Structure 1
Amino acid sequence: MARITTQKALDHAFNIRRDVFIIEQGVPETLEFDAFDRLDSGCEHVLMTYNGSPAATGRVRKIDTCAKLERICVRKSYRGFGLGKQVIHQLEAVIKNEHVDHYLLHGQTHAIGFYESLGYTVFSDVFIEDGIPHVKMKKNLSHADN
């Protein structure tokens, strides 16, 4: 797992997101990529490889005293190896010392149990984001030392 610091690594992350969100889940490309998808955007991006191949990614950005985890995904062929959990832990670690008091994410409803196992709790009704049912989930920093 590594923080993304080069355009080449960021391009690997974009390819993972294309595979998962655009091809697999049908999210339009115009909705998947945004102003935070640059190295100088204020977001921290991470890339996880598995046996040398780009396998998982995510990003985190600070919003006031909150750290919002976003675009977390694992390529289908690499699921079941714990990479998603490692991405979450890395994103939390990257932003932990940036004066935040909680983590926030919009979790797809099918992944609620996964995020709950990492200390996140649901605090919203189901809503549709990019055509997919989501909930808002939160984890207080005092509970983030798992």
Structure 2
Amino acid sequence: MHFIQVTTKEQLQEAFKIRFTVFVDEQGVDAAHELDDFDSLGSTAIHLILVDNEKTIGAARLRFINDCAKMERICVLAEYRKGGVGRLIMTGLENIARDKQMTFAKLHGQTQAEGFYNKLGYEKSSDIFFEEGIPHIEMKKTL
């Protein structure tokens, strides 16, 4: 498995394909709400895809807000979950954030994934709120 920092339209389409499979098809997020102003090659966001034997199996997006790295749109195809793939994606995002001199990371994690993020050192920093009808919490970690 290896990361690719997205630099082409084709790679970005691969990221979108994974996101739509996970968030729209599996979780019922409205397709019209999945993409936003940070989903273009010219935006300030960094997109990553995780590839296993030429197959894209995961995706994520990273934005920088002051000294904070905001991890977003983290997703893995269902058949690759539970094998450490999510941890690999988070490590990749955190390494980029450290390279950019960010001092902490935050994310809006689905409440069902709170335990996963806790194991990676993230701590709950908000009450439950809803995004696209799915319960989330903000979580933070010092880098």
What's the TM-score, normalizing by structure 1?
Answer: 0.93
Instruction: Kindly tell me the number of residue pairs found equivalent between the two proteins.
Output: 141
Q: Which amino acid aligns with 1:103?
A: A
From 80, 85, 88, give the equivalent of 1:86: 88
Report if the CA contact (8 A) 1:44-1:94 is conserved. Answer: no
Aligned partner of 2:142 in structure 1 is 140
Percent identity over the alignment is 44
Tell whether the 8 Å contact from 1:4 to 1:47 is kept in structure 2 after alignment.
Answer: yes
| 1:115 is aligned to 2:111 | no
Question: Retained in 2: the 8 A contact 1:16–1:56?
Answer: yes
1:54-93 matched pairs, under 5 angstroms: 54-93=56-95
Q: Distance in 1 between matches of 2:129 and 2:99?
A: 31
The separation in 1 between residues aligned to 2:47 and 2:97, in whole angstroms, is 11
- 1: CA distance between counterparts of 2:63 and 2:122? 17
Answering whether residue 35 of structure 2 is matched by residue 33 of structure 1, we say yes
Give the letter for the 1:50 counterpart.
D
Q: Give, in angstroms, the shift of residue 33 of structure 1.
A: 0.5
Aligned residue for 1:96, secondary structure, equals helix
Q: Secondary structure at the match of 2:43?
A: coil
> What is the CA-CA distance between 1:93 and the residue it aligns to?
1.1
CA distance in 2, matches of 1:96, 1:30: 33
Shift of 1:50: 1.9
SS at match of 2:58: strand
- Residue 42 of structure 1 aligns with an amino acid whose one-letter code is T
Structure 1: how far apart are the matches of 2:11 and 2:97?
19
What is the aligned-residue RMSD (CA, Å)? Answer: 0.9
Aligned to 1:96: 98
Match status 1:130 vs 2:132: yes
Structure 2: 5+ residue runs without aligned partners?
Answer: none
2 CA distance for matches of 1:87 and 1:129?
22
SS in 2 for 1:5: coil
Equivalent residue for 1:24, pick from 13, 26, 50: 26
Once residues 69 and 130 of structure 2 are traced to their aligned partners in structure 1, the CA distance between those partners, rounded to angstroms, is 21
> What is the distance in 2 between the residues matched to 1:29 and 1:53?
23
Structure 1: 4+ residue segments shifted above 6 A: none
